[in-house]
């Protein structure tokens, strides 16, 4: 009698190399690879538009690597997977673990259901360098501050070496046509995702090339260069990491090798610590599953946020009148990503100068970012808002003018995304309202017509924010 096939369920691990669950499945028999887009269980956290664009490309590339055997489905995975097991006659199911609260609760139920049906379920770690339960304080409780988490906790547990792609794999497509769904769902407006296609190369192979490229050209000088907005002195690996086209272990080991060879220890250390911020955000999401919806520091729930639709719209579309904020927001819309420093500045502006609830900004990022990640996005917003774990103190309010002068001194970033200001002299580029009528006229800028007047005053909005924060302290 032929051996029953096994199912490998791809999730946030759309790759063949360093995929422990896939390697184990291949050892167990012929593998039926499946992917399920589960909006039903995701609920509010169903993938946003930019992520859906990425996913569709990533699945197409993965399917090529699997010889066209990947079956994709749309629906509740806890309903679909048992049905796929039944149809295919599979005796075992393999997957790699995910850490979003909705996935954890769904996977627990699913595992129980399959086990009750006599199906063996195996799960592995493919997405993190350290799983949350591996790093705890001496008293057994989770860390809430990054530096001891990383330096005392993580660095004492070397991450495992990455695995090669599974050898002698047999992938089969099975007989699952009844449930097969050829397209995931209609994609967002065409011109928008054409821009994303022009910007990004998706898939495991491309992720490997992006890593090589970064290690060769930009790891050296990363520590300083990562803050400069126009230079792109960063890896741009976040969407590849989010979708699991490359693993954090591959990135960690690659960086370690390249950094030690090049003798750029300070850059290496900084880059590894950024990977560890990604780990820390997953860690916090695991221990504090309310992170995406509720302030980590509960007192911020009483903050007098303003639900100002006009202010929010001006921010969303890069029309605040503050060039650095607007350039960041337009970068997001143009490319599906935003430089980390611009994320901090734009988020701070929304939450602190416009007093808009961080959750509104988080949702916009969720829809527009190709690397939208429940852990890193929620953590990033709460960090900026001051409500998070190990967050920036509330009184630290990024000033977009001084940040611009420091991190975009020659204005290349602003000019790239705000062409209407291109001809303004550097001196006024980050504060066009300071330019005289003659200077503006010469640059072809009519404030309030070609480019907006500032929507808020930096000084008074800062004072208002601090007063709101102090009222909170007293309550
Ligand atoms: C408001 C806000 C929202 C954010 N939302 C997301 C998000 O949805 N998804 C996301 O992946 N990152 C998010 N970040 C973190 C960070 O901005 C991005 O990870 C980074 O800009 C990605 O660019 P890169 O790959 O070139 O990073 P690099 O500088 O090359 O860093 C390497 C990797 O380290 C990780 N990393 C770097 N910085 C951080 C950080 N601050 N927090 C967590 N991980 C980090 C990323 O996986 C990144 O790919 C957010 C930050 C803020 C302030």
366-419 pLDDT per residue, tens: 999 999 999 999 999 999 999 998 878 888 899 999 999 999 999 999 999 999
Summarize pLDDT for 198-234 with one digit per residue, the tens: 999 999 999 999 999 999 999 999 999 999 999 989 9
Ligand 1 in reach of 384 Cβ (< 6 A): yes
Return the active site residues.
Answer: 274, 277, 305, 340, 358, 381
Ligand 1 in reach of 369 Cβ (< 6 A): yes
What average pLDDT does range 87-98 have in this prediction?
96
Name the residue of 128, 246, 351, 380 to mutate for ligand 1: max ligand atoms within 8 A of Cβ: 380
Beta bridge mates, 6: 31, 92
Are the C-beta atoms of residues 33 and 69 closer than 8 Å to each other? Answer: yes
Residue 144 tokens read as: 């809430």
Which DSSP symbol is given to 451?
B
Are the C-beta atoms of residues 381 and 374 closer than 8 Å to each other? Answer: no
6-10 and 31-37 beta bridge pairing: parallel
Summarize pLDDT for 55-88 with one digit per residue, the tens: 999 999 999 999 999 999 989 999 999 999 999 9
Alpha-carbon distance values, 115 to 7, 109, 285, 439 (Å): 14, 10, 27, 73
Model confidence at 473, in pLDDT bands (50, 70, 90)? low
For residue 226, the CA-to-ligand 1 centroid distance in Å is 11
Q: Choose among 232, 403, 434: nearest CA to 325.
A: 403
For residue 175, the CA-to-ligand 1 centroid distance in Å is 40
pLDDT at site 176: 66
What is the residue with the minimal CA distance to atom 33 of ligand 1?
275
Domains in the chain, please, with CATH?
Answer: 1-126 (3.40.50.620), 128-161+205-287 (1.25.40.80), 298-474 (1.10.579.10)
Beta bridge mates, 33: 8
CA distance 306 to 395: 18
Are the C-beta atoms of residues 221 and 233 closer than 8 Å to each other? Answer: yes
Residue 3 tokens read as: 């051996």
Confidence check: pLDDT of 307 > 90: no
Alpha-carbon distance values, 112 to 20, 82, 105, 120, 121 (Å): 22, 11, 11, 10, 9
Ligand 1 in reach of 390 Cβ (< 6 A): no
Are the C-beta atoms of residues 229 and 341 closer than 8 Å to each other? Answer: yes
């Amino acid at each position: 009698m032929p051996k029953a096939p096994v199912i490998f369920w791809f999730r946030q691990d759309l790759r063949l190399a360093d995929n422990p669950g896939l390697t184990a499945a291949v050892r167990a028999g012929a593998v039926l690879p499946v992917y399920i887009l589960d909006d039903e269980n995701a609920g509010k956290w169903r993938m946003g538009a930019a992520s859906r664009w990425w996913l569709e490309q990533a699945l197409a590339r993965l399917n090529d690597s699997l010889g066209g055997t990947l079956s994709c489905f749309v629906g509740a995975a806890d309903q679909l997977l048992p049905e796929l097991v039944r149809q295919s006659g599979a005796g075992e199911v393999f997957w790699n673990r995910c850490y979003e609260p909705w996935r954890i609760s769904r996977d627990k139920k699913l595992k129980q259901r399959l086990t009750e049906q006599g199906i063996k379920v195996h799960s592995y770690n493919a997405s993190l360098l350290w799983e949350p339960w591996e790093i705890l304080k001496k008293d057994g409780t989770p860390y809430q501050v990054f530096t001891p988490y990383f330096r005392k906790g993580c660095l004492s547990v070397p991450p495992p070496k990455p695995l090669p792609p599974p050898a002698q794999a047999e992938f089969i497509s099975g007989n699952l046509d009844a449930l097969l769904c050829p397209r995931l769902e209609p994609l967002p407006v065409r011109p928008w995702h054409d821009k994303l296609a022009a910007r990004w190369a998706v898939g495991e192979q491309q992720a490997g090339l992006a890593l090589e490229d970064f290690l060769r050209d930009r790891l050296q000088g990363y520590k300083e260069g990562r803050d400069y907005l126009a230079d792109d002195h960063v890896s741009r690996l976040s969407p590849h990491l989010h979708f699991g086209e490359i693993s954090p272990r591959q990135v960690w080991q690659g960086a370690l090798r390249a950094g030690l060879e090049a003798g750029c220890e300070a850059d290496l250390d900084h880059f590894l610590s950024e990977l560890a911020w990604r780990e820390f955000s997953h860690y916090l999401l695991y221990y504090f599953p309310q992170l995406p919806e509720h302030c980590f520091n509960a007192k911020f729930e009483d903050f007098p946020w303003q639900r100002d639709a006009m202010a929010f719209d001006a921010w969303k579309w890069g029309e605040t009148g503050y060039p650095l904020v607007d350039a960041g927001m337009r970068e997001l819309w143009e490319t599906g990503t935003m430089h980390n420093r611009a994320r901090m500045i734009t988020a701070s502006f929304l939450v602190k100068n416009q007093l808009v609830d961080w959750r509104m900004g988080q949702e916009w990022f969720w829809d527009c970012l190709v690397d939208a990640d429940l852990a890193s996005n929620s953590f990033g917003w709460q960090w900026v808002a001051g409500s998070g774990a190990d967050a920036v103190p509330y009184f630290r309010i990024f000033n977009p003018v001084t940040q611009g002068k420091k991190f975009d001194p020659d204005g290349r970033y602003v000019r790239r995304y705000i062409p209407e200001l291109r001809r303004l002299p550097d001196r006024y580029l980050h504060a066009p309202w300071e330019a005289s009528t003659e200077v503006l006229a010469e640059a072809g800028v009519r404030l309030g017509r070609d480019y907006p007047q500032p929507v808020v005053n930096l000084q008074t909005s800062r004072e208002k924010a601090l007063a709101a924060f102090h009222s909170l302290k007293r309550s």
